[in-house]
Structure 1
């Protein structure tokens, strides 16, 4: 299953490592160092305001969608269709 994270980008659910709020990530020294170390693997999908950060096995995506919206989308995809 794929999740739309902004612009024209879809990510496989199996590739997700974390979804973080950008404001929380900016306040962390560890995340600041992580972003510096992975500078060439950052994909900026935001034209104006970034709200969340999606970390995958291979890249870090800056998304215009909120972390709550992305969480809802991943939860919706992971629910079984039949009970």
Structure 2
């Protein structure tokens, strides 16, 4: 199954490692991780207004969709499998 991150970006659900709120960027550890991923070329900015960060096995996506909405979308994917 797939997860829509916004702006026509869809990723396989199985690749998602973590979804975090952009407000956690205040943490020094998170800031450092995001800076390194950007420097290494792994960061994909989907939109100007970022609400969440989706970390996958290959990239780090800066999504305009909130964590709560992404969580609901991910849960709906699992319900459709049952």
Return the TM-score normalized by structure 1.
0.90
SS at match of 1:10: strand
Aligned match of 1:19: 19
Residues 1:9 and 1:76: Cα distance change in structure 2 (over 3 Å)? same
How many residues end up aligned between the 2 structures? 80
Q: 1:81 to 1:15 in 2, by over 3 A?
A: closer
Q: Which runs of 5+ in 1 are unaligned?
A: none
1:1-83 correspondence to structure 2 within 5 Å: 1-24=1-24, 26-39=25-38, 40-47=41-48, 49-82=49-82
Out of 27-36 and 56-65, give the one that drifted further. Answer: 27-36
| Whole-Å separation in 2 of the counterparts to 1:58 and 1:19 | 14
SS in 1 for 2:55: strand
Alpha-carbon distance in 1 for matches of 2:80, 2:37: 35
Normalising by structure 2, we get a TM-score of 0.91
Q: Give the superposition deviation at 1:54.
A: 0.4
Greater fraction of residues in helix: 2
